[in-house]
Structure 1
Amino acid sequence: ERAIADDEEQAVVDALGATLHALGDLTLTDLDAVRLGHQEFARELRRAGDRPERRLSSAATYFYERLVDTACLHILQFFTQRSTFVAHALVEQARGLDELISKVDELVRRSPLPGGEDAAFEQRYLEHLRKKHGKLTIHGIDLSSSPTRWPLDVAYLNLETIRTVPSPAPRGETGQAYQRALADGTEPADQVLDSDRRVLLRGEAGSGKSTLVQWLAVTAARGGSTGRLDHLDGRVPFVLPLRTLTRHGLRLPNPRDLLAATGCPLAGGQPDGWEDRVLLAGRALILVDGIDEVPEPERERTRGWLRDLMETYDGENRWLVTSRPSAVGHDWLVEDGFREVTLSAMGPADVAAFIGRWHAAAGAGSDDGGELDRYTAQLRTAVRTQPDLGRLATNPLMCGLICALHHDRRGSLPHGRKDLYEAALSMLLSRRDRERDMALPALREEPQLAVLQLLAYWLIKNGRTEMDRSRAEAIVARVLPSIPEVAELGGAPAVLDHFVQRSGLVREPAPGTVDFVHRTFQDFLGARAAVEEGDFGLLVEHADDDQWEDVIRMAVALARPREREAIFRELLTRGEHAPDQRVRARIHLLAAACLEHATSLAPSVREAVERATAALVPPGNEEEARALADVGPLILHLLPGPGDLDDDMAAYRTVIAASHIASDAAVAFLARFTG
């Protein structure tokens, strides 16, 4: 059946021609036309053509409209195929999105939508994190013309991490074990959370664990990361120093209490349930710093708390836990899906870079640039050419102390860790006020150390790294009558204020809380107190406690020859009678590590320690291999060479031990295994 009568066919053709001719009168762009859709575009064409359908019958008008609609559908299809259309469409889309975002932001600002309160609070919280963690204290930079804190961007040194090799494969799968070890390799410290959502980071005291936590928190808080750090973009960091969370031995916090537990000044201002929503959305970056600073009896409780959080908020959240190497076993968090990495010691290039940055910061605002350049070059040469000094300069803390002492002593340096710590304490306690020309009472070092070491010893004996200010004042009050020189400052509160404000060793991280600026100083001062008290039995009793390792090492260095000999004999006896093989190995390895601090020791005692250590060679697993490396270069002459080994895995573990020894002597030893 024909759609129209014969006498109307030409009228429809004329109307359709007039309508399509009106394409030349439209001012729409291709993009505008497509955005309208073919039916609305047809209506625009009919209007532009002066509506020719008004002269047609109803049947002809209906047929004409269908023809125009179909024609417009094909015309718009043709527009989208033109080369300029996609480019124009993308530009317009980007402009439209920008306009939409601006309008939504303004709408949220004027009248917060559901979730708008969360976004507004997050902006405040992230700004707080950027300011709080965006500065770094470099120990030793305390010259009168130098800043006390350094921008993190300038101070941060990105070290390498070594992936912990999985437990050795059963016999017959040695090749696979090697393949896994090769695949694990190394990676920059700030990328450890890129491929893995859960990481346990191990590192020695002063190795930069807490600085890495700061760096990750600030990077995430800034947002807009690209390239290798884009996995941190859009994440909300929670920095959880366990030394603070466990200070009073109270229950570890639930998500809603995290800000209050860490002393965040914004606590209480967050929208109700905000932390829960962040964790449920998988946007959180949880940075748990310092498992080793939790007393050993409380670590299992801490692991349970961590597991509860992870099981409740699994998703895409990222978790980083830090610890000293020996604080927890190698499998402590393995079944919870954590990959283990170890923070590497600073290499020669890292040390050279750190020395340059330290002197640049020390010279900020001063006119002695030439002298600082000379000190920089001199110290770089000394660290490279003097083995004892090179062995000390393996982490940022020790490098900072070495730089400060080198500058303070006009280019001369003490030898050995004990001498270095003593010189650092002398510099911090005596030089600061002299340099700043403060018109205040000048105290000698020994009276100050007598007070400080009692504070340190209380923390060590109680397994803590922080104490309530009231407790610190009580300790100071008890000792003041016997130290009249310090008592001249006033009562216990005044004395404690003096140390907090002027010693450079004690600080008040939160109101009502006192701690040492670094655990290293606490351990050294605690060792001084233990030696003065003659508490050698107490030291040996805690030989299997990782929190006492450095205390015992420094006690050996500080003790008199007969006292030192007694410590070694008691360590060997304790190790021999330990019912657990791991405890026995740990104590004997600690005794071997103490040998480097024994300036004088009876040959028979030294030989007895070496015999006990030789029984642990070659190491039985990777954990024992790394523990052997902690003994230092003296273990190299006890490790078997390739000709003395007939088992591939034993050779593999021997190489692990040697590769973790920070000494050029290890390179020559390792070279024997390249075949």
Structure 2
Amino acid sequence: MSGFEGAVLMLGSAVVKSAAKLWLGDRTVAADAAAQAVDLLAARTASAVEQRRLRRMFEQMEEIVAERLAPLAEHEFRGMPEHERLAALEAVSETFAAAALSDADLFTADLDAGFVCRYLRRAVPGVPERFLLSADATEFYHRVLRESCAYLVQIVTTLPRFQTSALTELLRRETQVLELLREVLARLPQSRSAGDFEADYRRQVVTVLDRMSLFGATIGASSRQYPLSVAYLSLGVVTEDADNRQGFGDIFEDDDAVPVGLARIEEILPRTTRLLVRGEAGSGKTTLLQWISVRCVQGDLADLPGWADVVPFFIRLRRYASAPFPAPEAFLTEVGRHIADEMPDGWVHDQLRSGRAVVLVDGVDELVESRWREVAQWLRELIAAFPAARYVVTSRPGAVEAAWPREEQFVVAELQPMQPRDVTAFVHRWHEAMRAQSLDDDERRKLDEVEARLAATLLDRRGLRRIARNPLLCALLCALHRDRNAQLPENRMELYEISLHLLLERRDKERGLPHPQGLSRIEQTLLLQDIAYWLVRNGWSDAETDRVFERVRVDRPASTGVPIQERAR
């Protein structure tokens, strides 16, 4: 092994060991720079054989990271002497090894590479000076450190959330997990320099938005998150120029009828720079915008005319329920809170003016009705200031007045219920995702049987087929079918009632979680009804956790048993 190969492997090892500390989630361990998280993890396995397998698996992760780092370490600053290159790589390894990972933000779900890099520099200051690095070697050090931090983030977010059973699951799915990690790192947007803000932002988009929560975790297991780019099912839309129907909903009596002008969303995107997507609750509007964002930064839309090298800005309007709508410099609030202070002056404005930006605005309907016109005016002003940018807006029907989309030359597309082939594909992907987290072969075989039975049930029962055409309800059906031994509801209200029962009682019970003291299912339902009424009355789609807690504290009935509805009056 050459000195260069050894230095890169050492760096890969340092990155993975730091990632293991964060994944373990034990802040005492992470704050101890000398702690060996992999050894602590191995000690939690059941046998010496499993301990060896787990250590070997993390060694393979180290090799995957080293393989990704090697081209960068070899080709950047090619004129730099070999001994300086090796010294810089050793300095990066030392930075990871010596850092006490104690900041709470290091353990958040939206962990960002830029934040980790800045934290390491603060936690272990003066490394380039201690290693006597030249100016070029120092710049090389910062470049490799930033890239290594990106890989650390991807390891932490790719591994399933740590719990005792996670180690067993990792060992059972060792090959699959390693291949997924290799694929995720390979698809990570590449940075062009140590200060490449755009690359950092693109990576943050992937970290934050490339997630899809598949409802209906298995019996005894919590719901899992999967890469949206892997699990997403392309949606069908009908544009107003293809079909004169203005409404939306369950409008097709024949289950097998294909709407006139039906197209996939990726066929519509190149036709316009301004798109309004309407759809009912659960039809996939938010997921669609996440999917567009992730595909933009990963270059998957480069073949679409006008969509090469596009920079997405994802904006959830519900964040601004009682606040002014964001100016361009605040577009990173949803994605990139850790790196917003590093953004070059005018960077978002430059993307908007150049036509590289796509502004993805989610949920006009999630604002109180009195603010719908404010949204329209905000969009008009954005378009007037930045006419070259692309805009995609989502809303339920009725929340957008007919005039302004036409005035601003928006193409209006309505998300359609899934077609029979889409439902079949959705059901298969849902069960495939569940199989991916199964702990044994018997469980996987059982999932095969459950999927086949559900497919047959949907074929036989027209009422269920209609419910399944909505993506959210289809996921609920998949979950309930598995949880309730194929006993499925006939209509939506019954589906909602059963789902509420599952979420309020059975799910926590089967996960071994304690039941809320003094709260029956009826009392829990009354609390939820009161919160829902409070949100609707105020025109909100959600509220901060502290405000909800305060609402519950104030309005929870005392021991007298007075119904919440009476107290709310």
Shorter-chain TM-score category?
0.5 to 0.7
Instruction: Find the residue that maps to 2:205 and give its secondary structure.
Output: helix
The one-letter code matched in structure 2 to 1:254 is A
Q: Report what 2:465 is aligned to.
A: 390
The one-letter code matched in structure 1 to 2:544 is D
Contact 2:204 2:335 in 1 (8 A): no
Give the drift of 1:105: 13
Instruction: Find the residue that maps to 2:505 and give its secondary structure.
Output: helix
Q: Report what 2:225 is aligned to.
A: 149
The one-letter code matched in structure 2 to 1:372 is L
Bigger helix share? 1
Instruction: Find the residue that maps to 2:233 and give its secondary structure.
Output: coil
Give the drift of 1:126: 0.7
Which residue of the other structure, out of 429, 434, 440, is the alignment partner of 1:362? Answer: 434
Contact 1:145 1:366 in 2 (8 A): no
Instruction: Give the Cα separation in 1 of the matches to 2:338 and 2:561.
Output: 39
1:18-417 equivalence runs, <5 A:
120-141=196-217, 143-145=219-221, 148-165=224-241, 185-223=261-299, 225-227=301-303, 229=304, 231-244=306-319, 246-247=320-321, 249-260=322-333, 264-315=337-388, 317-363=389-435, 364-367=437-440, 368-417=443-492
After superposition, the Cα gap between the structure-2 partners of 1:433 and 1:216, relative to the gap in structure 1 and judged at 3 Å, is same
Give the drift of 1:287: 0.3
Instruction: Give the Cα separation in 1 of the matches to 2:438 and 2:419.
Output: 30
Instruction: Find the residue that maps to 2:214 and give its secondary structure.
Output: coil
After superposition, the Cα gap between the structure-2 partners of 1:277 and 1:429, relative to the gap in structure 1 and judged at 3 Å, is same
- Report the TM-score, using the length of structure 1 for normalisation: 0.51
Contact 1:288 1:321 in 2 (8 A): yes
Instruction: Find the residue that maps to 2:333 and give its secondary structure.
Output: helix
Instruction: Give the Cα separation in 1 of the matches to 2:418 and 2:260.
Output: 20
Which residue of the other structure, out of 497, 507, 512, is the alignment partner of 1:422? Answer: 497
The one-letter code matched in structure 1 to 2:307 is L
Give the drift of 1:339: 0.5
After superposition, the Cα gap between the structure-2 partners of 1:529 and 1:415, relative to the gap in structure 1 and judged at 3 Å, is farther
Instruction: Find the residue that maps to 1:158 and give its secondary structure.
Output: coil
Contact 2:243 2:260 in 1 (8 A): no
Q: Deviations over 1:211-259 (max 9, x none)?
A: 11111000111126453x4643311110001111x22x22211111222
Instruction: Give the Cα separation in 2 of the matches to 1:212 and 1:410.
Output: 32
Q: Deviations over 1:169-223 (max 9, x none)?
A: xxxxxxxxxxxxxx99232113422121100011111011111111100011112
The one-letter code matched in structure 1 to 2:333 is A
Give the drift of 1:267: 2.1
Contact 1:135 1:149 in 2 (8 A): yes
Instruction: Give the Cα separation in 2 of the matches to 1:187 and 1:353.
Output: 17
2:540 equivalent to 1:468:
no
Instruction: Find the residue that maps to 1:149 and give its secondary structure.
Output: strand
2:517 equivalent to 1:445:
no
Is 474-483 or 457-466 further displaced after alignment? 474-483
After superposition, the Cα gap between the structure-2 partners of 1:216 and 1:303, relative to the gap in structure 1 and judged at 3 Å, is same
Q: Deviations over 1:473-498 (max 9, x none)?
A: 22111223436899xxxxxxxxxxxx
Instruction: Find the residue that maps to 1:461 and give its secondary structure.
Output: helix
Q: Report what 2:92 is aligned to.
A: none
Instruction: Find the residue that maps to 1:285 and give its secondary structure.
Output: strand
Q: Deviations over 1:256-290 (max 9, x none)?
A: 12223667332222111111111111110110011
The one-letter code matched in structure 2 to 1:122 is E
Contact 2:296 2:307 in 1 (8 A): yes
Instruction: Give the Cα separation in 2 of the matches to 1:410 and 1:456.
Output: 31
Identity among equivalent positions (%) equals: 35
Give the drift of 1:293: 0.8
Instruction: Give the Cα separation in 1 of the matches to 2:313 and 2:194.
Output: 16
The one-letter code matched in structure 2 to 1:124 is D
Give the drift of 1:370: 2.1
Instruction: Give the Cα separation in 2 of the matches to 1:121 and 1:255.
Output: 16
Contact 1:253 1:261 in 2 (8 A): no
After superposition, the Cα gap between the structure-2 partners of 1:251 and 1:145, relative to the gap in structure 1 and judged at 3 Å, is closer
Q: Report what 1:579 is aligned to.
A: none
Q: Report what 2:554 is aligned to.
A: 478
Q: Give the aligned CA root-mean-square deviation in angstroms.
A: 3.5
The one-letter code matched in structure 2 to 1:340 is V
Q: Deviations over 1:55-94 (max 9, x none)?
A: xxxxxxxxxxxxxxxxxxxxxxxxxxxxxxxxxxxxxxxx
Q: Deviations over 1:308-334 (max 9, x none)?
A: 11110112x211001112222344311
Contact 2:229 2:294 in 1 (8 A): no
Instruction: Give the Cα separation in 2 of the matches to 1:214 and 1:105.
Output: 42
Instruction: Find the residue that maps to 2:360 and give its secondary structure.
Output: strand
Instruction: Find the residue that maps to 1:132 and give its secondary structure.
Output: helix
After superposition, the Cα gap between the structure-2 partners of 1:194 and 1:105, relative to the gap in structure 1 and judged at 3 Å, is farther
Instruction: Give the Cα separation in 2 of the matches to 1:308 and 1:428.
Output: 43
Give the drift of 1:441: 4.7
Contact 1:118 1:270 in 2 (8 A): no
Give the drift of 1:150: 1.5
Instruction: Give the Cα separation in 2 of the matches to 1:477 and 1:134.
Output: 36
After superposition, the Cα gap between the structure-2 partners of 1:441 and 1:336, relative to the gap in structure 1 and judged at 3 Å, is closer
Contact 2:229 2:295 in 1 (8 A): no
Contact 2:527 2:564 in 1 (8 A): no
After superposition, the Cα gap between the structure-2 partners of 1:351 and 1:485, relative to the gap in structure 1 and judged at 3 Å, is farther
2:510 equivalent to 1:435:
yes
Contact 1:457 1:529 in 2 (8 A): no
Instruction: Give the Cα separation in 1 of the matches to 2:479 and 2:485.
Output: 10
- Report the TM-score, using the length of structure 2 for normalisation: 0.60
Q: Which runs of 5+ in 2 are unaligned?
A: 1-71, 81-135, 144-190, 245-258
Contact 1:202 1:325 in 2 (8 A): yes
